[in-house]
Chain A
Amino acid sequence: MDLSFSPEEEAFRQEVRAWIAQNMPPHLKAKAEQAAHFEMPEVMEWHKLLYAKGWVAPHWPKEFGGPGFSATQRFILGEEMELAGTPPLSPFGLVMVAPLIMRFGSDAQRQRFLPKILSGEEVWCQGYSEPNAGSDLASLRTMAVDAGDHFVVTGQKTWTTYAQYADWIFCLVRTSTEGKKQQGISFLLIDMKTPGVEVKPMQTLGDTPAFCDTFFDNAKVPKENLLGPLNGGWNLAKALLGHERTLVAAVGQTRRNLRLAKRLAAHHLGANGKPLLEDPHFRSKLARLEMRLRAHQMTNYRALAEQQKGHHPGPESSILKLVGSMLVQEADELCMELMGQSSLAWHDDEAVEPFERWVPPTFCYDRATTIYAGSNEIQKNIIAKLILGMPGA
Chain B
Amino acid sequence: MDGFIQFFEDYQLLIYLLVFTVILGFEVISKVPTVLHTPLMSGANAISGVVVIGGILLVRQAEAGDYFSLGLGLFGIIMGMVNATGGFAVTDRMLEMFKKKKKK
Say whether A and B bind each other.
no
